[in-house]
Amino acid sequence: MFKGAEAAKLGRSNEQAVLCCDVVQPIAQWVTGMRAATPEEDSMGIDVVVSTDCGDVPLQVKSGGRRARAFQKEHPDIPVVVVYPGDSESRIRSRVRSAVHRHLQNDGRWSKRPVTR
């Protein structure tokens, strides 16, 4: 387990991996962008904000399951994406897509999203 400066460095690296996973191949057709959290959002436990065709979804990025579960207990309204060392962009993209989709379904926005034809 990482502590102090080492944990902070790993956290920043994992957040960057999430932000970059959308560059080469889009996460999903309904994802319109991603950005790093503002300082105010960061103070609320948000690392990344994913923009979708039915609104923004905050994300917390963690480097392990235990920390992710602890965060979810404290902030059940913020989805968590776990990024492990060596995860491929494809795997990170899949985790982000799943977390955002699940969040949109749970809060009812998915059923109200615009239908594109």
Q: What's the pTM?
A: 0.85
pLDDT digits (tens, 9 = 90+) for 30-61: 999 999 999 999 999 999 999 999 999 999 99
CATH code where residue 104 lies: 3.40.1350
Whether 80 maps to a domain, the answer reads yes
Q: Which helix (H) or strand (E) holds 6?
A: helix 4-20
Whether 117 maps to a domain, the answer reads no
Would you call 48 helix, strand, or coil by DSSP? strand
For 38, which DSSP code? P
Which domain covers residue 26, as residue numbers? 4-112
Distance CA 17, CA 4 (A): 20
pLDDT digits (tens, 9 = 90+) for 61-106: 998 899 999 999 999 999 999 999 899 999 999 999 999 999 999 9
Distance CA 112, CA 105 (A): 10
> Structural domain tally of the chain?
1
